[in-house]
Each structure stands twice: as structure tokens, then as C-alpha cells.
Structure 1
Amino acid sequence: MELLINDNFRAQLQTEIEFIDFIVNSILYKKCNNGSNKYILQSLKTGSNLLTGVKNNLAVDYLFEQLCLSNDPYIRKQAVDLIYHFKEKRTAIEALLFLIHDTDDIVFLPAIKASGDLKIIEALDHLMPLIGYPSEFFEIGTRLPVGLGHAYVAAAMEAILGTNDPSIIKQLEKTYLETGKLYLDANENENINNNTIDEYPELEGMVFIPEGKFLMGVNEDKIVNHRLSHSNATPMKEEYLAPYYIDKYPVTNAEYDIFVEDIKINGDRHFRHPDQPEDKNHTRNTIYDDRFKPDHPVTGVDWYDAYAYAKWSGKDLPTEKQWEKAARGTDGRLYPWGDDFNINYVNCLLGSDKTDITLTEWRHCLCETSNILPGKSTTYSIDKIKENISPYGVVGMVGNCWEYTKTNYYTKEDLDPQFKGLDVSEFLQDRDGYPVIKGGAWSSVSDMVSTWFRGKDLLTDRHCEIGFRCVKNIQ
């Protein structure tokens, strides 16, 4: 494995973080202490120009965090100016969407303008709540403009849509609300589009998932004998995703242990989740258990561990939608290989080949199996079962170990925990503490090891049944 975090990377990151702190604190924040208004504005411009030299992706993340969260609107305005330079970075686009909702017009008006200049399609979701649907606004007599804000939003929408013709806008609006895109290819194919794949470079150890629609969830008529609660996964529905990459295999114990050794020396300051406990120990709890081999998927970690590893590797945790599309393709299949369960294709049921085990028998077996009882079957090597492969070529998506996502089980939005400093007992019943886990594990019954089933677990719990893989998002 080629380390993503090497000495050069670390040195560059540290240098650029220190550079950002110097510019922000010495030039931007101290602007008001010296000179005329003209001098102050020139200092801001100079500081912003210097910051365009930042190269490291994590340093760019840090840069926009420092600027966007400033209590000084003139500094937040510099973030808008820098978005034009860093427009290829996902962090810059997220900063733009955030600043559209700023409370100071010297910030939100330029941010709105930038969304139009850069034709950021997803900005429509942020602009429409401000003045309404574009079809209503551009139709004569439907909406009345109220000042600068309305004018800027209307201009940005016109730039993004590429027209101010009400009839065309209605068609574009309908397409966007239904698919998340403004234009559909007349020959759009529901299957994997190899031409689309060719547009993106190969990434070592990752599989490219093209943009497009797929079927998510399940219909009752396809799972008539299912024995577990699953109402939150029905009915099946069509979803759309932008393109992304996902790890071909789950992260292994060997890969994860390298991460732990690195942060023991260099710390996890730049990778930790903001809500992570201050005294967090990222060492997996299976480290001394010989059953969990180096080439097995990492388990014995919690959601904060998975988040930190993903950031350390330059990636993210997948959303539930990203995970599910990668596992089942576009046709809504129940398992990566098709619609028929095959016990030989998956590591589940505690290593048993029985398919008729009752839930009562299963629970009794679980009580005899854990990470403290030796001699019981657990995880397998990540590539032991060759048939456990998705239509895209992603391996081991069901069975072996559950996999964390960054999706809240209850809200289906990104998980946003706010538990720092609290005892576990204080958020045990809080719905913001439960990420979706997918795929089932070596300890699961067959009802769980599918592409659609939704599991959950408290984000601070560490089990020898839950691991993860990462994604790399594409703007």
C-alpha cells in the first residue's frame, strides 16, 4: 500500500496551515488597526491573493473554515473572492452555498453572484427558498422583486438556467426537481455508461460510480418472507447521484493500523470530527485478537474512528445512497450478484451454511460468540469470496462486516452529532447519534445481508462486526 500521508504531504500540510494562520491573523484580522479605508481594503485584497497559493486539499478545507466562520463580514467576504480561484475544490462550493445564507449583504450578495458566475446548479436549492421557484419569478406579474437581494438571486438563476424565457424555465425547473439535473441526454441509459466512465481517471484501489438514477429501497412483494422490521426502507424509489469513487474493498486492519501509528506520532488535529471526544484513542479494540487478520476488514472501531481515517486518507465516508448504489447498480437487485440469496457467496450466520436458522437460534448463537470468546468464526479476508461483487465491481458489500455511512438513520440527512463533553448516557436516546450501517456481517442472519436493508448503531459503540470503506466525491 502506498501511503497517502507521507512525510512530504505532512510537511506541506503543516507549512500551509501555519501560513494560513499567519495571513488570517496578521493581515486580515489586523486590518482595522492601521491606515485609511483604502489601505484596509488593499490589505484584504493582498491577503486574499497570498492565500491563493494554498495547494493541499486539507489546508484548503482549513482555509475556508477559518474565513467562513469569522465574525467579521469583511473576512467572510474574502472567502467569496477565493471561491473563484478554488472553484474546482468541493470545499469551495460548500463554502459558497453556506455564504449565500450570510446575514451581511457585503457577503451574501457576492456569494449569490458567484453562484451564477460559476453556474453552480446545486445553488438552485439555496436560491429558490429566497424568492420562490424561477418559473414563478420570471413569469410577468407572478412575483414582485424586493430590492437588491431579489435582483441578485434572479440574475444568478438566469445565469445558471441559461435563459429567462418562462416557458423554457418551466421545463428546466421540472427536470431539475425530478432528477437533480437541468438537462437529460435524449439517449440517457439507465445502465452503466462506459463513455461516462472514460471521462474520469482511474484511482488505485477505487471503483468509479457514474452519475445517474438508481433504485433504492425495496418493495414488499420482493421480500414476502422477511422477518425483520424494514418499513423505513419501503417502498422502492428512484434516486439520482452525481459521480463518485468508492473503495473496491473495505478498509483492512493492516491499513487502519498504519493510520493509528501515524496519528500517534503526528496527531489527528486535521482529520478528527469536530465533535470527537478530546481524549479519543483510535486503536481498534480487536488489535490483540488473532482471529482478526491483517487482510480482514477493520472492525472494533466507532463512527468517529471511521470518519478520521477517511479524512486522513483524503476521502470521506459514503452516504447511504452512495453505498447502496455501489452495492446494487441501477436495477434494484436485492444482492450484489442478483435477486437470489446464495449462502456460498457471503460470510454470515456465524460461518454456518444453514439457511433455515430461526431468529431464536440465531440469538442463542450470538450469546456464545463475541470478540472475547476464542475459536469462533469471525471476519474473512476482504477478497475471499469472489462472487460477492456488485455490478460495478465493488467487492464484499454484504456480509463479513457492517459498514458505516455518514447518513443519519432517522432523518436520512448527513449525521451531525453535537455530543462533545457529554456522557454516553446523555445522548443514548438522541436520534442524532445513530448512523446508518449497511450490508450485514459475519454475525448476521440472511435477512440483514442485502443491498437495501438499513441497520443502525450508536456512533460511539465499537463492535467486532462493524467496519467501513471510503468514497472520493467528484465536483
Structure 2
Amino acid sequence: MKVVSFLAVIAVLIFVNIANANDDMILIKGGKFLFGEDKKKIELGDFYIDKYEITNGQYKKFRSEHTFPAGKEDFPVVEISYFDAEEYCKNAGKRIPKPEEWEKAARGTDGRTYPWGDKFDSKNINSVEAAKDGPVKVGSFEKGKSPYGVYDMAGNVSEWTDSWDSKKQYRITRGGSYFDGADLNKTTSTLMSIPDDVHEYIGFRCVKSK
């Protein structure tokens, strides 16, 4: 009986961990979509992506020494290196998005320029046009979410992806940030950063294979 009870507890814990891993994640159904500025048709399998950028509050639960200004628990965590972001995702049973995954979650299957459509609208995004001093609370722009309901895939903070530049010196970030304009906040735009550097405009989110 004790063995059966022990196994039952383990099964419950595994179920809870899996359920928690999928909290605030959105399923991106597999299939073909248009990738890149040239809209090349490629195919991906099913995967989950975080609905929001990882927040200060979430990161502090992972790394207790993390500090941030009072009242900014729900703001995106920044000044996190690629390696620290990767470690966070791995600890949660997830990983950093591949560029193809990130872009599909941002633009859907129709090749749109921005998560909400083809026309730039400063009311949908925390970009340089909004004249903010930095990131804002995640999920602040309801009309700026992607076709799948993923928030802040343009603006707020740029996000690490699991991709190198051609010389494998820089990691690629996607999504633009609060001080980037319309062009760098397109779903196809890319920026670069040394992976162990930290910046006030770079954050991240995680994905998980189905």
C-alpha cells in the first residue's frame, strides 16, 4: 500500500509540474506559415509559447537575489544574459524560442508585418513613438497581441532567440523594444547582441514542445 501511495504522489507531482509548465502558455498549432521578409513558406510542429514576456516577479522566484524597483513585479525582466535566460527556461522545463517559432507566434500564418496587421499603429505598442522611459507592464497593449493572443511580440523589450549571426558571435533578438521605431518592431526584424551581455532593453520568453 505504501508503495502504491508513493507512486500515486509521484504521479500527482508530475501532473502538477506539467500543468504549471503550461500556465500562461499558448499553443501554436503546427503547419505551414510565411517566414521572413521574403515570406518563404515553411512548416513547424506544435509548440507552446509564453503568453507574456518573463516578468521580474517570475524571475525572482527562480533567482532570489534578483532585484527590481518597487511596483514592477509585472514588468519584463531585463539585463539578463542569453545564458541566464536559457537557464531559467531549462529550469522551467522549457527552452529559448527558435527564430521560426518566435516569428510564427508573432505574425501567424498570413505573413503580416506587425502582430496586429500590416499597418503600424503606435497605440498598439510600447515603441519609441510612445515616448516611454522604459518597459511597461507586460500585456498592456490588448490590441497589439498576435493572432494567437501572444502579447508584446513587438515593442516593450527585445527578446532572445536560439539563433546565431552568420559568424556565431552574436545571438539574435527579435521583437524590437521601447526605444525602437516602426521598422525595427516588424515581425521579421532582427537585432544582435553578445550572448553574455546584458541590456535594459532585452528580455525573453520561453517555449515548450508539445
TM-score by length of 2: 0.86
Residue 409 of structure 1: aligned partner:
165
1:388 corresponding residue in structure 2: 144
> 2:20 aligned with 1:217, yes or no?
no
Deviations 1:216-239 (A, max 9, x none): 111xxxxxxxxxxxxxxxx22111
Residues 161-176 of structure 1 mapped to structure 2, 5 A cutoff:
none
What are the equivalent positions in structure 2 for 1:55-66 lying under 5 Å apart? none
Give me the whole-angstrom Cα distance separating, in 2, the residues matched to 1:319 and 1:395.
Answer: 18
Q: For residue 450 of structure 1, report the CA deviation from its aligned partner.
A: 1.3
CA deviation map 1:19-76 (0-9, x unaligned): xxxxxxxxxxxxxxxxxxxxxxxxxxxxxxxxxxxx98xxxxxxxxxxxxxxxxxxxx
Give 1 or 2: higher strand fraction: 2
- Residue by residue over 1:351-395, the C-alpha shift from the partner in whole angstroms, topping out at 9 and shown as x without a partner, is 32xxxxxxxxxxxxxxxxxxxxxxx71000001111111111111
1:350 touches 1:377 (CA, 8 Å); kept in 2? no
CA distance in 2, matches of 1:350, 1:308: 33
- Cα separation, 1, equivalents of 2:82 and 2:53: 15
Q: Percent identity?
A: 37
Residues of 1 paired with 2:56 and 2:145: CA distance? 21
What SS is found at the alignment partner of 1:240? strand
Structure 2: distance between partners of 1:401 and 1:437: 10
- Give deviations 1:431-452, integer Å, cap 9, x for gaps: 3231110000011122111111
Distance 1:461 1:289 in 2: 21
The question of whether the paired residues in 2 share the 8 Å contact of 1:317 and 1:406 is answered with yes
Identify which of 90, 110, 117 aligns with 1:338: 117
The separation in 1 between residues aligned to 2:72 and 2:98, in whole angstroms, is 27
Residues 93-112 of structure 1 deviation map (CA, whole Å, 9 limit, x = unaligned):
xxxxxxxxxxxxxxxxxxxx
Question: After the TM superposition, which residues 60-99 of structure 1 pair with which residues of structure 2 at under 5 Å, given as runs?
Answer: none
RMSD of equivalent CA atoms: 2.0
In the TM superposition, 1:213-252 aligns within 5 A as 213-218=32-37, 235-252=38-55
Alignment pair present for 1:349 and 2:105 = no
Work out whether residues 442 and 465 of structure 1, in 8 Å CA contact, stay in contact via their aligned partners in 2: yes
Offset of residue 204 of structure 1? 2.0
**Residue from 192, 196, 203 that aligns with 1:460:** 196
- Which is helix-richer, 1 or 2? 1
Bigger RCO (CA 8 Å, 6+ sep) = 2
Q: Deviations 1:137-189 (Å, cap 9, x if unpaired)?
A: xxxxxxxxxxxxxxxxxxxxxxxxxxxxxxxxxxxxxxxxxxxxxxxxxxxxx
Task: Quote the residue 1:433 is aligned against.
Answer: 169
**1:289: Cα distance to partner?**
4.5
Name structure 1 gaps, 5 residues minimum: 1-11, 13-54, 57-201, 219-234, 265-282, 353-375, 411-430
